[in-house]
Amino acid sequence: MAPMSLRTYEEVRPYARAIKQRTHLRDRQGVMPPWMIEKNVGIQAFKNDPSLSEAELTAIADWVEAGAPLGNPGDMPKALAWKGDEAWTIGRPDVIIRSKDFSMKAAAPDWWGSFDSVPTGLTEDRYVAAYELREVNDARSQPQLIVGATTSANFSVVHHGTVQAIAPDGKTEPGGCCPTHEVGQNAHVFDPKVGKLLRAGSSLAFNSIHMHANGRDTTGHIEIGLRFHPKGYRPEYVATGVVVGTNNDLLDIPPGATGLKYDGTAVLQQNTKITVFEPHMHAAGVRFCLQAIYGTTTETLSCAGYDHNWVIAYTYADDVAPLLPKGTILRIVGYYDNTRANRNVVDSRNWSGGGHRSVDNMNQMLGQGIALSDEQFATAVAERRERGRLTGRTVFPGCPTCGGVDPTSPVAAR
Ligand code: HEM
């Protein structure tokens, strides 16, 4: 999907300066590889984190400054033999489901609708362990007819896709596969104790698809790759959405505005382990933070840059995923830049407000989590204390009760 491949020295060399520049954006819009978690605040361990370490960044900078030399060809690692599976970051899927073909004109209004549902072909009930959606299209081979019209994602036309499991009796499967896909999104690997049921004879419905023009006449389709838990697997926990948002009507982003922020809050109605932090904004968004408020304490769980080419789902590592008691207030803060410095804004002379088009704005956390009973919650906290060898009063990021004190008590306030 990238504009160039990085397989050989000859392919890489012309991009040396651009590689140094893009990789050193660190957590800001445009960074490569695409991953924008800020490393100086909040929880730091994630699944499938492709970001570069400071040592790797220094190595790239030193190499570029030295004139990007080839080095000793004898030290070159053997070229990778591509098997075709690498197109899927979840590994070889057990099942690949393909939508009907779609087409989008180079310059056309946004399109919302549904595609025909597709049978999964399953002959027995299975639980989904990982899910990946990818858009396959011919945009790269098409001439760019509208210069500068690449509002979000250079080649994508699928802004988002909601895919639902439909049981053989035609009913939507509650809590079934699959999370909403957003433009440029990575794969979803579910918590090992949460399986999403896909019944024998079920279908996948592509019931909320949003497409936008990308400046090229584009034809393509959606592919969904699913990996299953082993046969006989039984899930322990119930998956839940962790959604916090700002009312779209409040978003008011003047032409040329920068440093503008909006917040939103929600109270957790059940004990929750947050498994996925997923900022969702649109073109003007540049940064997004998630905080948890309990008692008198406000803790920043995660902050990330935002790039509407890459709406990334950040999956916390199992041992550090936020473990929050019911009643915790979740707060989101989204930052906007409606200037030419934001490459996703088409024309910064325009006012923009809330809305569903890619050029409108949103401010939402579309996270995922696990709902825990009081007993399950107490067990999870005790396990975490034991694993971390925590004794007495201590601070465990993202887990207010792991510290051995009720965070809402006057003692905790001191
Ligand atoms: C260390 C790893 C990576 C490096 C050094 C890198 C480098 C770059 C550079 C230098 C550009 C700008 C090219 C230009 O100026 O024309 C770029 C753009 C791009 N790359 Fe990467 N990349 C990396 C990983 C990835 C990965 C993992 C993906 C796909 C999942 C990807 C997809 C893209 C795409 C789609 C663009 C064009 C759109 C955009 O700028 O956001 N890259 N990359």
* pLDDT one-digit tens code per residue, 373-400: 999 999 999 999 888 776 666 778 899 9
- 88 CB less than 6 Å from ligand 1? no
Ligand 1 center to 19 CA (angstroms): 8
How close is the Cα of 1 to the center of ligand 1, in Å?
A: 9
- Band the pLDDT of 348: cuts 50, 70, 90: very high
pLDDT of residue 357: 86
List the single range of 91-100, 152-161, 301-310, 320-329 with lowest mean pLDDT.
152-161
Closest ligand 1 atom to the C-alpha of 22?
10
Distance CA(31)–CA(60), nearest Å, equals 14
- Is 344 a pocket residue for ligand 1 (Cβ < 6 Å)? no
23 Cβ closer than 6 Å to some ligand 1 atom: yes
Closest Cα to atom 34, ligand 1: which residue? 2
Task: Render pLDDT for 236-278 as a digit per residue (tens, 0 to 9).
Answer: 887 888 999 999 999 999 999 999 999 999 999 999 999 999 9
State residue 409's pLDDT score. Answer: 62
Dist. CA 232 → ligand 1 center (Å): 40
Are 346 and 396 contacting, i.e. CB atoms less than 8 angstroms apart?
A: no
The verdict on the CB of residue 154 being under 6 Å from ligand 1 is yes
Nearest Cα residue to 401 out of 289, 303, 330, 322 = 322
pLDDT band at 84 (very low <50, low <70, confident <90, very high): low
Residues 33-80: pLDDT tens digits? 999 999 999 999 999 899 999 999 999 999 999 999 999 999 998 887
Query: With 70 as the cut, is the pLDDT of residue 114 above it?
Result: yes
- On the question of pLDDT at 87 being above 80, the answer is no
| Distance in Å, CA 214 to ligand 1 centroid | 18
The whole-angstrom separation of Cα 133 and Cα 274 is 22
Q: Rounded mean pLDDT of the chain?
A: 90
Please write the tens of the pLDDT for every residue from 222-235. 999 999 999 999 98
Q: Nearest residue CA, atom 18 of ligand 1?
A: 2
User: Residue 324 — very low, low, confident or very high, per pLDDT cuts 50/70/90?
Assistant: very high
Distance CA(136)–CA(113), nearest Å, equals: 18
Q: Is the CB of 2 under 6 A from ligand 1?
A: yes
Q: What is the set of domains in the chain, with CATH numbers?
A: 9-70 (no CATH), 85-235 (2.60.120), 239-374 (2.60.120.230)
Pocket test of ligand 1: the residue of 22, 136, 306, 311 to mutate, having most ligand atoms within 8 Å of its CB, is: 22
pTM of the model as a whole: 0.90
Tens of pLDDT, residue by residue over 271-291, are: 999 999 999 999 999 999 999
Whole-number pLDDT of residue 413: 46
16 lines ligand 1 (CB under 6 A): no
Which DSSP category does 130 fall into? Answer: E
- pLDDT band with cut points at 50, 70 and 90 for residue 411: low
Residue 85 has pLDDT above 80, yes or no: no
Top mutation candidate among 19, 24, 28, 32 for ligand 1, by most atoms within 8 Å of CB: 32
- For residue 80, the tally of other CB atoms under 10 A from its CB is 8
- Percent of the chain residues topping a pLDDT of 90: 66
Residue nearest to atom 9 of ligand 1 (CA): 19
Tell which residue, 277, 275, 273, has the closest CA to residue 380: 273
Q: How far apart are CA 332 and CA 262, in angstroms?
A: 8
35 C-alpha to ligand 1 centroid (Å):
11
List the residue whose alpha carbon is closest to atom 27 of ligand 1: 33
Cis bond upstream, residue 397 (ω within 30)? no
pLDDT band at 4 (very low <50, low <70, confident <90, very high): confident
Encode pLDDT of 145-189 as tens digits: 877 655 445 688 998 988 999 989 988 877 667 888 888 888 888
**Ligand 1 nearest-atom number relative to CA 23:** 5
353: Cβ below 6 Å to ligand 1?
no
